[in-house]
Amino acid sequence: MARQPFIAGNWKMHKTVAEAEAFVQGLLPRIYDADHCDVALCTPFTALQAVVDSTRGSRIEVYAQNMHHEAQGAFTGEVSAPMLTELDVHGVVLGHSERRQLFGETDKALQLKVPAALDAGLQVILCVGETEEEREAGDTERRLRHQVDEGLEKVPTERLGDVVIAYEPIWAIGTGQVATPEQAQEACAFVRALVGQRSKEEADRGRVLYGGSVKPDNAAELLGLPDVDGALVGGASLDVEQFEALVNAAKG
């Protein structure tokens, strides 16, 4: 089965509502006929409604960058799946390394968040990836296995392929130090194989993205790899021209 390429821009803590709307107005005419790939913008919570409204009827999907697994409760500062779906948000990024490293996100929490998001009708991008020390110590596969197995543990087998997994080596995020095509292919194939241990069919259906310093000048090579179905992009997603170039690079 051919997997539709997927380019997702992760804005992190960038763009006010006014800046987000200006970006969308700039992007829409540039990618209106880009039906070769799925396109998502993962915006701060505060910009979700504005970006949902300004992209309605277009091919751009809107994702949040985190959510709590409970639907409601005494969790100050958190946002739940029903709060996102009420806004017509399409999906959510879960387990980004910045959330894991800076905000104490655990694999145990992700075990609850991933199925909660799917149950609510949200699409999920689950992020996994090793540190530089883990790669140097030969621990990359052990780390990925742990993150993928834990994150997907409570996902029913027939829904595994609905979870997009983003392989993002931490040493490549925001550093300009992109993984080599060999490293990206090897790790993304390994991630797919981990899903395949539960269901070959779901592993073939599910999309695996690469993330970490993806730019217009390296995107085509990465996106051409057999097990890389798209990219999760930070820095280069903040600029309309660069983001358009990434969407075009997915044409293959």
Kindly list the catalytic residues: 96, 168
Report whether 89 contacts 63 (CB < 8 A).
Answer: yes
CA distances for 145 relative to 135, 141, 155, 188, 251, angstroms: 13, 6, 16, 12, 31
For the bound state, the minimum distance from the C-beta of residue 166 to ligand PGA, rounded and expressed in Å, comes to 7
For the bound state, the minimum distance from the C-beta of residue 57 to ligand PGA, rounded and expressed in Å, comes to 27
Amino acid (1-letter code) at residue 46: T
- By beta-carbon proximity to ligand PGA, the closer residue of 95 and 212 is 212
For the bound state, the minimum distance from the C-beta of residue 234 to ligand PGA, rounded and expressed in Å, comes to 2
- By beta-carbon proximity to ligand PGA, the closer residue of 35 and 241 is 241
**Binding stretches for ligand PGA (CB under 6 A):** 10, 168, 173-174, 211-214, 232-236
- By beta-carbon proximity to ligand PGA, the closer residue of 46 and 101 is 101
- By beta-carbon proximity to ligand PGA, the closer residue of 39 and 202 is 39
For the bound state, the minimum distance from the C-beta of residue 126 to ligand PGA, rounded and expressed in Å, comes to 12
- By beta-carbon proximity to ligand PGA, the closer residue of 31 and 214 is 214
For the bound state, the minimum distance from the C-beta of residue 33 to ligand PGA, rounded and expressed in Å, comes to 25
Closest among 238, 220, 239 to 228, alpha carbons compared:
220
